[in-house]
Amino acid sequence: MENRKNIKVFIVDDSPMCRFLYKRHLMNLGFSNIYLFESGEQCLNNIHIMPEIVLLDFDAPPRNGLEVLKEIKQMYPQIHLLMISSQQDINVVIEAIRFGVSGYIMKDDHQLEMMSYATEKILNENKFLFVG
């Protein structure tokens, strides 16, 4: 397995608290090359940095996460995207799968645990995960 310190991770969430919480959690997991963005636009403007993993909030205005997911996957299909959302609409999950998301994590009391699980699975198996 690749050293986690060398893996670039983008966190995209409009909530400063979520960005801070996710960054701290990933640092506790051994990741240190972490970039924070409050919008999908900021993420897309920096995608040339070529992260291995993008944690993408569905609601990161001005564009929704599905639009950002689709654009990233068209440019760089090898990037793993984990959608993190409070959206409980199954159609959103289906669309995310259709666009190539590596996993879908529900924002709830278990989201950090599921984030740990999802990143580990990406690093080890590169399979789709629905973590809800």
- Predicted confidence pLDDT, tens digits, the chain (132 residues): 457 888 999 999 999 999 999 999 999 999 999 999 999 999 999 999 999 999 999 876 778 889 999 999 999 999 999 999 887 788 888 888 899 899 899 988 999 999 999 998 888 865 444 444
CATH of domain 4-131: 3.40.50.2300
Alpha helices in the chain (DSSP H): 16-28, 40-45, 65-75, 90-99, 111-124
Any idea where the domains of the chain sit in the sequence?
4-131
pTM of the complete model: 0.89
